[in-house]
């Protein structure tokens, strides 16, 4: 019998490369968590506000629609009115809510004098907030 060394096969060599796949997976999960929680952190201040009778929610702004068509006919909230009825209804709206806004829509063919008459009726009634409503210009005309 011969005594000798047994041939050994070399063992597995140590791995010298880092597997990046698990690292990338963990980092993507952390990014997703950060993206989801970041908006919540901005509004996370919890307050217990004091109660007060003076801090009542305000009503939505009141307005009436006043339309003057091509013929000069006035319409208040889409109902035709005479000049006397217009003055009475505007005065009634002013007595209910003094901050009521008048949204004036007048056809471009209406003479300026008629528009001034309607505005004067609103101001006599006590409604000083008047807004002029117009359609936006078409895109082709605005580009010129």
**73 part of a folded domain:** yes
Predicted local distance difference test score (pLDDT) of residue 100:
86
Q: Is residue 1 part of a domain?
A: no
Q: What is the CATH number of the domain that holds 112?
A: 3.30.420.270
**Residue 48 counted as domain residue:** no
29 assigned to some structural domain: no
Rounded CA separation 141/144 (Å): 6
Q: Is residue 56 part of a domain?
A: no
**Residue 114 structural domain:** 63-132
Q: Does residue 4 fall inside a structural domain?
A: no
The per-residue pLDDT for 117 is 92
Q: What is the pLDDT of residue 30?
A: 95
Q: Give me the average pLDDT of each 10-residue run along the chain (144 residues).
A: 67 80 94 86 60 60 84 87 90 87 87 90 89 75 55
Q: In this structure, is residue 74 part of a structural domain? A: yes
Q: How many domains does the chain have?
A: 1
Q: Which residues pair with 67 in a beta bridge?
A: 75, 105
Instruction: Determine, yes or no, domain membership for 45.
Output: no
Q: What is the pLDDT of residue 142?
A: 53
Predicted pLDDT at 38: 81
Residues in Cβ contact with 31 at an 8 Å cutoff, skipping those fewer than 6 apart: none
């Amino acid at each position: 019998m011969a005594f000798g060394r047994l041939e050994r096969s070399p063992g597995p060599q140590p791995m010298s490369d880092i597997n990046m796949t698990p690292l990338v997976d963990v980092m993507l999960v952390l990014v997703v968590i950060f993206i989801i929680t970041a908006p919540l952190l901005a509004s996370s201040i919890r307050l217990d506000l004091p109660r007060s009778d003076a801090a009542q929610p305000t009503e939505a702004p009141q307005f009436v629609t006043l339309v003057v068509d091509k013929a000069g006919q006035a319409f208040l909230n889409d109902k035709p009115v005479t000049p006397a009825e217009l003055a009475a209804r505007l005065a009634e709206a002013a007595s209910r809510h003094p901050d009521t806004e008048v949204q004036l829509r007048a056809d471009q063919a209406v003479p300026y004098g008629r528009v001034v008459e309607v505005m004067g009726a609103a101001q006599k009634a006590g409604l000083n907030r008047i807004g002029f409503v117009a359609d936006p210009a078409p895109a082709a005309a605005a580009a010129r």
